[in-house]
Structure 1
Amino acid sequence: MAAALNRFISRSSDKCRPFFQLLKKREGFEWGAECEQAFQDLKKYLAQAPLLSTPDPGEILVLYLAVFEHAVSAVLLRDKGPEQIPVYYVSKTLLDTETRYLPLEKLVLALRTATRKLPHYFQSHKVVVYTEFPLRSLLRKADFSGRISTWSVELSQYDIDYQPRTAIKGQVLADFVAEFSPTVAPQPPTRQERKVEPSRRKGKAPAEQDALEWKLFVDGSACNTGSGIGIVLFPPGGVMIEQSVRLGFSASNNVAEYEALLVGLNSAKTLKVKRIRVYCDSQLVVNQLSGEYEARNEKMAAYVEAAKSLLNTFERVCIEQINSGQNSHADSLAWLAAAVPTELKRKVAVDYLAEPSIGRSMDLILDVNQGTSWLDPIVEILRDETLPTDKKEAHKIKTKSARFWLSPEGKLYKKSFTGPYLLCVHPEMVQKFLHEIHEGTCGSHAGGRSIAHRAITQGYWWPHMQEDAKVYVKICEKCQKFSPMIKTPAEDLVPLTSPWPFAQWGMDIVGPLHKATGNRKFLLVATDYFTKWIEAEPLAKITKPMIERFVWKSIITRFGVPYSLITDNGAQFQKKFKTFVPNMG
């Protein structure tokens, strides 16, 4: 019943979920309170369900999407001024793997489900999707997952527009949209973020406290030449403070990490810092201070106790684990202290050199003002959403633009499912690219197909790459002079045996064969030398009149008088037959 009434029920998969769960059980089928409540709610809904409507040809339709924990839904509507009339309800129960999709991926899945179940509406109408989420930018983003990329190409064939959701018109969508944004349960802190927070003092709001928070990056390094620590302290809105300290004693990496933390906290304490956020790339230090790891020896336990004692002197402290790439500044200072074998204090000034000291060896001059090309319409629709006035051309450009991506710098890239994005080359720059790849500094004068493949592997693309590369190779002077020559000796040209179709035929008799209807046991066959076309006729007797009739009916009347007929000079092709053929023309 639910399957038959699916199009009339809003969020049918969510409403019928208790039934689906019950039907999955092979044993212990029991109609419980949850199923009874769902059944009563379904009857109540069908008793007051709104009537569905049929859209007019060319009418713009409206689509709302809903995402829930175990189902996605969509409703297609007609916008009639003060009210919105439903056209079709679509709902899908999520598979176990689909329940683990990201929320925005589930939203795109709901849209894809609607297009697959209602393709006739999407192909004949423009559909406006009202949503509070950035679906347009998501489908055009460069770093999305593989399934989003596939769905983006699939959805690009339809005329779909995305607009912010406005006020709901009427009670039809009240329940559908009210539960559109499910509440998200608070997540526990991950292993990459451990907080050590003493009791927060009263008197200031959390936002104001975060604005006064200092940031401390610490790192330690131990090597054969010695040990060192690096500290970077960022005050709120102030000047960065750096410290590079060489340890005068032998220390392991873990000891160096703890020393960096203690020295950094002491420096912050000296500056009378009250609120601080510490970033460290040592998993051991962060987890021991949070209590998840236990110190196994007395030395580590002493460091943990000293660090916790120092942390309690601050009003608010937060310790987070980051990766080494995010802590590169402090890591460089630690390596500097560990690599310099001296006990003397020193200051190292770091300057900035913008240009090479020897100057540029050559200047590269490029055309600044490039003419119009195939890139311009795609760039305009991706940047400004500007479409041509012609409807067919606009649909063509919009479909093609889904395969491209515009970077923030204004460069156009072609999307790729299995490889990196390819930079689109302007037509005026194609010859320069081919010259550099074919005969440039690292050019090997390869063939056209190899040049096109090399351009793709280096991250470039333009239409008709192989054709342009083949043409360029043909006009390369060095390739014409020094390319390998064909060593096969020349021979006289052999004329064609049949210069045009149906000019020369070969004819022969096959048989006797097993008797067929009409006592036929011979087969008269004629084959054209040029087209290999075959004409055949079964015969009971192979007399000269029958052969003449076959030539007249099957060859001359259909293909014209042949230039020559080749036979094996059998008895049937002698005397009268030789005079019959020349008389035909």
Structure 2
Amino acid sequence: MVKWAVELRQYGIEYRPRPAIKEQILADFLVEMTVNQEESSTQTWMVYVNGSSTSTGSGAGIVVESPQGDKFQYAFKFLFPATNNEAEYEALIMGIKLALSVRAKRLMIHSDSQLIVSQVNGNYEAKEDKMLEYLTQVNELLSCLDSYDVKQIPRVENKSADRLAKLASSLANIDNRKITFLTYGKEKTDGSDVTIFCADSKEPSWKDEIIDYLRQNKLPANQVEARKLRVRAARFTIIDGELYKRGFSSPYLKCLMSAKGNYVLREIHEGICGNHLAGRALAGKALRQGYFWPTMKQDAIELAKHCHACQEHANFHHQPATILQPLESPLPFAQ
């Protein structure tokens, strides 16, 4: 520091050490930057609840709105039969629990059910045993809050929660979760050309024949193909519904489709810990990580071949070609 002070003095630049921070300045800084936990916890959260009970099932829709205006939407499907009033109580209980999970202390609860709101506010008396149990549980949850207000609103103002409740109650008709959801924005009579895409939820793969043989002992009609399949399937097994390949000196290898395998190769090749391995080394590393598919070596070679970074920074010989110069020795066996 003394050396720089001597060198810079000729330019009129002087070094001045930073003075000590005063206690009052530090105290003001701490007061300014400290968040008041009491003020943040006493802000009012908005909760919109609604229950739905139909012939296909029942469910609840809940919308939780933070003091900053952020909205969180939830749709709950009930796996037990429930009446409309029971669904409304279930939605109210879940809404309060969601608000308590984010440490809310003040709640403004909105519901379009006059019976539920009146019973919670004490205007109506709960005569049925089940309604009385629901009311007791709601009061226990509300006692954990500093303040709350349960308000009845028209159904028009509770559209979001009502839509979520109807969505949850209608999920009983959907047995297969592999469903392609499409939207259509034009009428069929508008005269414009319409292109229809058909999507199959299950794509054919190399694993189908092996899985069918291991599960159902299903073989092709051709005797030669059936013998090949039996020999090939002896190296595979099914664990928890997934196909695995037996290894000689390695644990079970999880069998993947080609698309999933390409994703694994890209993560190993150029992911967060990738080092841009070559084709055979890349396939070997994927194998050691516990994955297998028949074309993994070819896919790894093609991936490394089309990698722009590998082609740009590979250790290639970039010296221009020149005429070869022979080495002449002055006498035999001279070095």
Question: What band does the TM-score fall into relative to the shorter chain?
Answer: 0.3 to 0.5
- Larger C-alpha radius of gyration, 1 or 2? 1
Relative to the length of structure 1, the TM-score reads 0.24
Q: Looking at both structures, which has the greater relative contact order when contacts are Cα pairs under 8 Å and sequence separation is at least 6? A: 2
Between Structure 1 and Structure 2, the one with more helix by share is 2
